[in-house]
Structures are given as structure tokens and as C-alpha cells.
Amino acid sequence: MTDQFTTKGFADYFIDQRRYTNQFLDKINELVDWESIEKVLNKKYRKTASADGRPAYPSLPMFKLLLLQRWYGLSDPGLEEAVNDRISFIRFSGFSISSSLPDHSTICRFRNALLELDLFEKLFQEINGQLEKKGILVRKSNGAILDATIVESSRRPRKVIEVIPEDRKEEEHTPSLIFPPVIYSDDLDAMWLKKGKKAYYGYKAHICVDAQDGFILGGHVTPANVADVTEFRRLLGESHLVKDIPVFADKGYSSAKNRTLLEENGYIDGIMHKAARGKPLTFVERLINRLISSVRYKIEQGIGTLKRGYHFSRMRYIGITKGNMELTLTAMTFNLKKAVLMME
């Protein structure tokens, strides 16, 4: 890949001779087969000249900027400033230091273009596939773990007329069908959910990780008031699990339908048991629940890292579609960073 934005000049050669303290980005560059990533990008993405006639930026350096944005928690203007200020960012992305660099509006348009072309999921699977080939991500290992977490909306509702449903995971329905809300907000896909004494306005991120190392295998976003139990089939399908492994989940996923789904698809049932009215758990069921609970820390740690390290306690963007994009992009950067840390 050579063009006016990435062709190296004397200044780039001089910079390459200097010693860098940002070994993390160098290790990411060594880990990933960027040529394969570029092929995925360019199957659909076509460079076009900008409105003022300037040539468009190449796809791979622009995609690398999106990764940097997630690792360092930057806004679009913040990323524009950083890429013009930090040599390590220029070096990682592949831009030439002597070329013009993209501004925040160009970064935003590129991200939206990838979203419209439905490329984020393909890029996520390509990265996971590379980690699997290198033996870093092991799908046929100790199983998979499913869970969900609340992610608040980036917008506050201006007015709410609604009965807020409790987070009753055990019910196989979507509370919004019972409590129809009237919400005046910019974020029309977000919904209210009461968890304990606190009410949240936003979404749920439904996530699956491998039980051995905690790599994210799949996930999606729904309004916050969607019951976890209803998302089990979809989450199982998008995680591309191998057969004959245990699938662990808390009692919020417990239903006859979900247990049958596991059996019919060749998975070992690792869903926690749930007591019913007048039917307490047996000693064996309580023991099984304790064993499953001892495994679930992998996904709890991962969700904690997403919220603290990647600012995923609140959405950056509005709507389900962009929420799914944000989760997928965050999962890519989470897995790449985890892979580098494991290799140290």
C-alpha cells in the first residue's frame, strides 16, 4: 500500500531510527496481519475523492485510527489532535509524517462508511480468526460464558411518562411490551430499566467470552429493558462456538427452551438452576450453581475492563445500530490488547 499519504520520506526514515517507549503499539503491529485486514476493508470500501476534490485517505491507516481511538478513549476531535501530536500514533497508523492527516470530520465519515457497509463484524471475525490461528484464542477449551451488562445512553431523556420495569431476568418477555413507554429523547432506541434502587436509561450489551482466557467471541446490543433470557439463542449463534463445550450462564438465562437449545446443538448445559415457587433447589442443583458461579468471574472481569478501561459504561453514539458498532469495535481492541498482554 503506497500513496501520497503513506509514502515514507526522509522525516519518516529519521523517526524510524529513534527508540520508542510505546512498545504496546509496536507489538500490535507485529501481531496482526494487516494485509488481510486491508483485504476485508477493500472488498467493499472504495476510496472516493472528497467534496473539495482532495484524494481520499486509504482505508487501513484510517481503520488503525479507529483502534487507537478506543484504546486511548479519545473523541473524534481528540483523535485528530493526538494523531497530529504523537509520533507513535503516526507510526502505528502508517501515515507519513509529511502528509496531510485526517481531521475529525473525515474520521467520523470513514467510521460511518464502514458501518453502512456492514464491515465491523467482518473485521472482528477476521481479527479473532488471526488470534485463533496463532493459538492465542482457543475456542475448544474450557467452554464459553454468557452475560449482559447495562450501558447507559449518551443522551438523557428530556421527559419520561413511563412505568419502569424491574430487571427481572427470569421472565421470557420483553418488559416494554407490558409497560409501553412514552419517552421524549434524542435516543429513541434507549429504554429505562430499574436495577435495585437505581433506574438506568440506555441499553444492554449481551456478551459471550471464552471460559479459558476471557476473549470476546460475540455480542450485540438491545434496549435496556430486554430480558436476558430472550437473547440466548442470538448470542449463542453469533459467537461461533465449537461443539461439545460447556456454555455457562447465570439463572437469568434459565428456561426449558434455552436448555433444549443447548442439547439440540451439541453443547453442555452450564446454565445455573433457578428455584420456582414451591420448588426449592435441590442439594445437587445448589452445588452445580456454586461450580458455575466460580467460572463466571472471567466474564465479570472482562465487563469490568470494558467499563473502566474502554469507557463502555456509557454509549458514545445514539441508537441500536451505532451501539452495536461501538460494542464490536471495542471488542476488537479488547481482544488485541489481551493478546499482547498474554504474549509478554
Query: What's the pLDDT score for residue 237?
Result: 96
Q: What is the DSSP string of 18-35?
A: S--S-HHHHHHHHHS-HH
Rounded distance between C-alpha atoms, residue 290 and residue 57, angstroms: 53
> So what's the pLDDT on residue 185?
73
Query: Could you state, in order of their start, the residue ranges of all structural domains in the chain?
Result: 10-117, 139-343
For the CA atoms of 131, 133, 139, 140, the dihedral, rounded to the nearest 10 degrees, stands at -150
CA trace torsion 136, 137, 139, 143 (10° rounding): 100
* pLDDT at 344 (0 to 100): 80
Q: Using the structure block, give the residue that is written with the C-alpha cell 484464542.
A: 137
Residue 128, pLDDT score: 98
Phi, psi of 61 (to 5 degrees): -60, -35
Candidates 190, 194, 213, 211; CA nearest to 202 is 190
- pLDDT of 177: 42
Give strand pairing partners of 152.
202, 314
Q: How far apart are CA 60 and CA 70, in angstroms?
A: 16
C-alpha distances out from residue 292 to 4, 143, 215, 231, 272, Å: 55, 11, 18, 20, 7
Q: Is the dihedral of CA 137, 138, 141, 143 positive or negative?
A: positive
Residue 223: the pLDDT is 97
Q: Identify the DSSP state of 15.
A: H
Task: Return d(Cα 338, Cα 331) in angstroms, integer.
Answer: 10
CA distance 246 to 212: 12
Answer yes or no: CATH 3.30.420.10 is held by domain 139-343.
yes
pLDDT tens-place values along the chain, 344 residues long? 445 555 555 445 445 555 555 789 999 999 999 999 999 999 999 775 455 556 789 999 999 999 999 999 999 999 999 999 998 999 999 998 888 899 999 999 999 999 999 999 999 999 999 999 999 999 887 899 999 999 999 987 765 545 556 665 444 444 444 444 555 578 999 999 988 888 899 999 999 999 999 999 999 999 999 999 999 999 999 999 999 999 999 999 999 999 999 999 999 999 999 998 888 999 999 999 999 999 999 999 999 999 999 999 999 999 999 999 999 999 999 999 999 999 98
135-140: long-range contacts (C-beta < 8 A, 24 or more apart)?
136/339, 136/342, 136/343, 137/210, 137/213, 137/215, 137/335, 137/339, 138/210, 138/212, 138/213, 139/210, 139/217, 139/240, 139/241, 139/242, 139/245, 140/242, 140/244, 140/245
Q: What is the CA radius of gyration of the chain?
A: 22
Three state DSSP letters for 139-174: CCCCCEEEEEEEEECCCCCCEEECCCCECCCCCCCC
Place of cell 435496556: 224
∠ CA 331-189-301, rounded to 5°? 30
Query: Which phi and psi (to 5°) does residue 58 adopt?
Result: -65, 155
